[in-house]
Structure 1
């Protein structure tokens, strides 16, 4: 069970109640229910001239490993804007999210969902931020063989180069209530 003790809406001490066949922390004074703790991570798969953008982590977790650029979403930031920002911050590259290539789901104390985006190169040269990452560059699969590439990143790079289909593609909404949503769908070929 979570370490949260008080309602984030009204401040009342939470109690355990059976909701949807699960013990959940709920507020006795208002409708608040703590549904769990979650984090959403994003990663970029940005190819240019037959190579993929990688950064070398300068901090834990993964210090010393080459990975695809990525990070965690901000509360009021669309997920595709998050990965565009992360690529710019970590590697100095301007890019555009064009689709989703893979998704990882890790249920644990803080349930993590990781969304790997296909990115389109816009401009810039790989330049590390020298805080989160200490090196950045475009590498082909042969060059990666001699590098300390994180296993999950190797899996993602394989999908980027050898995956079948087009993944989920970004679409613009014509539904007014969804104008601020980031929408992605499977291409139907039409």
Structure 2
């Protein structure tokens, strides 16, 4: 069983194609590509933490995407996630929260749609989406959105990030945090 992180898929969101310069001619093409990428990576017993802006639109849009995706999905709600649709389809998720806190190897991961500033703490990290292709502002923030520089550099656009890569990145960033704290 593997664990993955992602955000800002924006399934069914036509304007995101132009806004983020995604390489698609239609929302249908984008949806199919992202579903294929997801299912090539994730198995049914794997866990996925999706940090918001999952599907753009009402319940019909959600019902056309969610059942097609493999894995046990934990959702933190994003600003473009329709609250009524999420309530109606919540049974398809392991949990639906505003924020999830995970403790792994003495590291505190705050999983939230928005980047949060938590100070220069070497064991606390904001794992987030929301800012799309812009990099995070602080060393202890990791943008896992499918358009993010971190995603593009580690696994490629549209792919989910394995937890092992997140933990490896945290080790690298911990040294930077400690160095910044010493100044």
Question: As a proportion of its length, which structure holds more helix?
Answer: 2
| TM-score, length-scaled by structure 1 | 0.22
Question: As a proportion of its length, which structure holds more strand?
Answer: 1
| TM-score, length-scaled by structure 2 | 0.23
Which of structures 1 and 2 has the bigger CA Rg? 1
